[in-house]
Amino acid sequence: MAVPKKKISTSRRGQRRAHDALTATASHECPKCGEMKLPHHVCGACGHYKEREVFEADEAI
C-alpha cells in the first residue's frame, strides 16, 4: 500500500537527520617520527606507542 508523500513533514524529517552529519577524524603527531596517526593507536611509520617500541617498522612502509 502506498504511503502519502507528505505524511512526514520536512521539519520532522530534518530533525531526524540532524545527527547524521559526518565528523572529521582526529589525528595527532607522533612524538617520535612526526607522522600523523590516530590517537591511542600504534604509529604505522615507526611502530611506537607511548614512548616504547611495539614492533619494528619496515623501511618499505
Structural domain includes residue 45: yes
CA-to-CA distance for 34 and 45, rounded, in angstroms? 9
Average pLDDT score over residue span 6-34: 91
Total structural domains within the chain: 1
Band (55; pLDDT cuts 50, 70, 90): confident
Mean pLDDT of the chain: 86
Asked whether residue 12 carries a pLDDT value surpassing 70, the answer given is yes
C-alpha cell belonging to residue 51: 614512548
**Any domain includes 33:** yes
Q: Three-class SS of residue 29?
A: strand
pTM over 0.75: no
The pLDDT score that the predictor gives to residue 61 is 47
22: Cα within 13 Å, side-chain hemisphere: 2
In a domain, 38, yes or no: yes
Q: Can you give the residue range of the structural domain that contains 56? A: 26-61
Q: Which three cell numbers stand for residue 54?
A: 611495539
